[in-house]
Amino acid sequence: MSYFPLFADLNHRKVLVVGAGTVAERKITALLKAQAQVYIVAQKLNPQIQTWVEQQRVHYLGEQFEESQLLPVFLVIAASNDRSLNQQVYACAERHAKFCNTVDDKALCSYIMPSIVDRDPLQIAISSAGSAPVLAKQLRQQLETTLPAQLGQAACIAQQWRDKVKQQLPDEQQRRLFWEQLFASSFTTLASSGQADKAQALLAQRLDHPDHRESGLVTLVGAGPGDPGLLTLNALQAMQKADVVLHDALISPEILELVRRDAKRINVGKRAGAHLSKQEEINQLLVQYAQQGLNVVRLKGGDPFVFGRGGEECETLVAHGINFRIVPGVTAALGATAYAGIPLTHRDYAQTVQFITGHLKGDHAQVSWKCLARSQQTLVIYMGTLKSEILSKELIAHGRDADTPVALVSHGTMAKQHVTVGTLQTLPQLAQQAQRPTLIIIGEVVKLRQTIQWFQP
């Protein structure tokens, strides 16, 4: 081990930074975050550092470095672009037994600054001992995608309860087991998703009733329209922690590959004329697995709350007292149209947009066709191919021009994406030939596809 890892308490301690360029700015940003008192020596200050000086967030000592400036400080950072000056700073620091870091010059360092994953108060430091800093940064980026942004809240709550847990569980081994089981439960997910009250209630329940079986957590995750790159970090993190995943039929294989390897996967997808599971059965499965104390993910195409029946599933979970959270996703109307090069709104063509489901329930005459047929708006119809004839006929009958451009996007955002363009009058014929699933876009904005299409699958 080339370096001994440690975390320094810089709160209200003095740190000297020699240099005031872009690199120095990055170091000072981290120092200010650690509540250090920063003193700067440099011939010229960059605009951001000049602003900090004016705001009295940092202290400017002047243009010339002097050895006496080292005496009151705790750490030194040499960040100038003059190596001879950096050598001088390092030599002086060595004489006075002050830790010194010289940026990008390992030979002039008595300590190095690692890549940090910051989940305050949790911190993960990654170092290659100066041999491959880019590799260390790549590892940090990988960890950033897997650790919730608010993970530190779990540590904050644990800190508040440490004394009480110690009093109630005086045996050290018993306490260690308690904390291990707590952090492996849904406590961490609740704390890191802004549900601090529920996290504390769970902690208290486990402390008072250690043998009580805890209900699990259900996370409704929007998987987006198909491209795995459109998943949010929260979605990826939930999929990596899942014990059970109930997924739609249309979830792409590339996205399912990102689910935790040993998670149980259940296809509960519904397609026109081929329902694998009724919604009531899906609701019951969510309750059943959560009551077993499992971490359950309901992986839904697009967004859970846009024609995804996420609201119905949440109502069921509330009725059974089961904790849940929502991870929004990119709905098809946003993702597929963007990949097709069709803006939903445009100052010259459409000032409003409406999302409509093609699964018209009951008598379609109850639909407000006059409202839907207004010009200067975009209609996006989900699951509308089976109703395309009705859509075309009624919209034209209620005033929409028969030559209004339409586009049908199949497998949007994916490598097999296919886009067909026509008019409102020809919509029924286009729909008969379209692959499924298909999104229908009606409106003058479709004209812009010819100009701004960018995605070539």
Residue 85's identity, in one-letter code, is L
**What region does 442 belong to: left with phi over 0, alpha with psi -120 to 50, or beta?**
beta
Structural tokens at position 74: 């705790």
Query: What CA–CA distance (Å, rounded) separates 400 from 120?
Result: 56
Q: Which residue has the tokens 């301690």?
A: 13
Query: What CA–CA distance (Å, rounded) separates 379 from 354?
Result: 5
Distances (CA, A) of 369 to 71, 306, 364: 79, 21, 9
Q: Which are the contacts of 388, defined by CB distance < 8 A and separation ≥ 6?
A: 358, 427, 428, 430, 431, 432, 440
Structural tokens at position 28: 């000072």
* Cis before 121 (ω within 30): yes
* Residue 2: Cβ within 10 Å count: 9
Q: State the distance between the two ends of the chain, measured CA to CA, in whole angstroms.
A: 48
Active site residues: 248, 270
Please state at what angle helix 279-291 crosses helix 310-319, rounded to 10 degrees: 40
With contact defined as beta carbons under 8 Å apart, do 301 and 295 qualify? no
DSSP 56-79: TSSEEEESS--GGGGTT-SEEEE-
Query: What CA–CA distance (Å, rounded) separates 212 from 457?
Result: 53
Q: Which are the contacts of 229, defined by CB distance < 8 A and separation ≥ 6?
A: none
Query: What CA–CA distance (Å, rounded) separates 46 from 25?
Result: 8
Q: Kindly provide the residue ranges of all beta strands, DSSP E only, lying in 19-111, ordered along the sequence.
A: 37-41, 59-62, 75-78, 99-102
With contact defined as beta carbons under 8 Å apart, do 92 and 38 qualify? no
Q: How far is CA 298 from the centre of its chain?
A: 17
